[in-house]
A and B are shown apart, each in its own frame.
Chain A
């Protein structure tokens, strides 16, 4: 199993490095339209063919990979930060704070995530340019995906609250801020790291769903979700089976994440 995990980690690093290198070699190629070759099959000029606007699929795939693999961790980081704040405060302070925070977490969890995401996304402008849309998508994912992690962080912080060394630190006259920063936070690090890593594939899949609905990253910027929309045309997909490449890569990457950090279920 350890070998499988190493292989999965190697694949993830390899995919990420290739996407970085490709963007450095030919920046902006994903938006260039080859008007004489729309929906072209794979050839020497375009290894994976082109989409209906004549854009090189390989360049778009690599740029989309970069977006997903860079920004999903950023969204996961934001979600973990919020979870650490809410869950940490709830678990460490206990009492009414805990009830209040956990009540908010329960209410947040009872609202269907994708519905909430659609509502929040609809509130923001839909006709934004590419980069702001990337930021909006992943900041929204981060801001709405913290609740489940907060519950786990809260349980960890609660266990720490009654630990011997915290009682000893308090008895020695340490201030609450010092206890929180020097003793509680470092001990919560493994839980936070696990939550961060588990959240990454969840956000990759959430972006894919949002992108497939046309509510994710705006054109001409590619993302895995946006590229899934190109598969709706069955005859075009049959004519150029390489169009399935984004889906295959998404499957490989989420499978690698699943192998490295096994979990009950990705949302």
Chain B
């Protein structure tokens, strides 16, 4: 278990390093890098413009730029947003709670809805219900997140419910297939033949068996929720990090965009690592 935890910490560090390097490369290679708009001020003399250029000269050396970027990242300095003219850390403090709330509530809602739709279908095996649930999930699965967001723009619904509707078809389909397979296992059939009730079979024989895969799905659903949050926050005008990412993309604010990508990657990797560790602790070791 200890080696597993160490492995996950290593993956976390690698993600930060890889994300940081990728980010620094993107920032360095972006068109217009190192150009200060003050250079176009006609009142400045040639010497002043030269001094401005000299100030950015160090950043043009890739290695120097990488090390500076990573050292800043290690110190928790995320730099400043060009387009919004504010420190990135301040923007994160302001926007993350909004997204976190909608993502967490959206995940919770999608699990309740997805699992709630899947379970009766697996227990009762009624084709009519299965057709209805499949059609409903299929409808939302085929809609882009932006279209779901439009519905919520029209009816002024909360962003978290839009995240729920984007996410639940994926949870439903996976949960239905997984629970269906587990309910067909010989030990579950034996338990049913012995007269055990549905609730007891589910709680004692199906859930422990399916828990590791369901936990893995929980980690993945967080990643999907963050991705769905971008169009939903933009279209529903919800001031979260999704909207911030879009503003940064339009304003070509790469430092902000890169920090956002790295931070969200770290959150999803941490969530995946935690669910992986939890699912491994749940797997029954052979005697």
B24 within 8 A of A: no
Query: With a CB–CB cut-off of 8 A, which chain A residues contact B19?
Result: 111
8 A Cβ contacts from A2-60 to B? none
A205 within 8 A of B: yes
Contact present for B173 and A123 (CB under 8 Å): no
- Interface residues in A, total, Cβ within 8 A: 41
Q: How far is the CA of A43 from the CA of B76 in the complex (A)?
A: 60
Given A122-B248, A212-B231, A106 contacting B142 (CB threshold 8 A): no
Given A123-B30, A265-B173, A214 contacting B250 (CB threshold 8 A): yes
B144 within 8 A of A: yes
Query: With a CB–CB cut-off of 8 A, which chain B residues contact A143?
Result: none
Query: With a CB–CB cut-off of 8 A, which chain A residues contact B174?
Result: 264-265
B107 within 8 A of A: no
A70 within 8 A of B: no
Query: With a CB–CB cut-off of 8 A, which chain A residues contact B268?
Result: 110, 112
State the Cβ distance, B173 to closest chain A Cβ, in Å: 5
Contact present for A119 and B249 (CB under 8 Å): yes
For chain B, the bracket of interface size reads 35 or more
Contact present for A126 and B15 (CB under 8 Å): no
A231 within 8 A of B: yes
Which stretch (A83-91, A149-157, A179-187, A251-259) binds chain B? Answer: A251-259
Contact present for A115 and B141 (CB under 8 Å): no
Partner of A266, one of B15, B141, B223, B253: B141
Contact present for A112 and B29 (CB under 8 Å): no
Contact present for B264 and A107 (CB under 8 Å): no
Contact present for B265 and A212 (CB under 8 Å): no
A136 within 8 A of B: no
B272 within 8 A of A: yes
* B positions within 8 Å CB-CB of A: 11, 14-15, 18-19, 23, 26, 29-31, 138-139, 141-147, 149-150, 153-154, 169-170, 173-174, 177, 223-224, 226-227, 230-231, 234-235, 245-246, 248-250, 252-254, 257-258, 260-261, 264-265, 268-269, 272
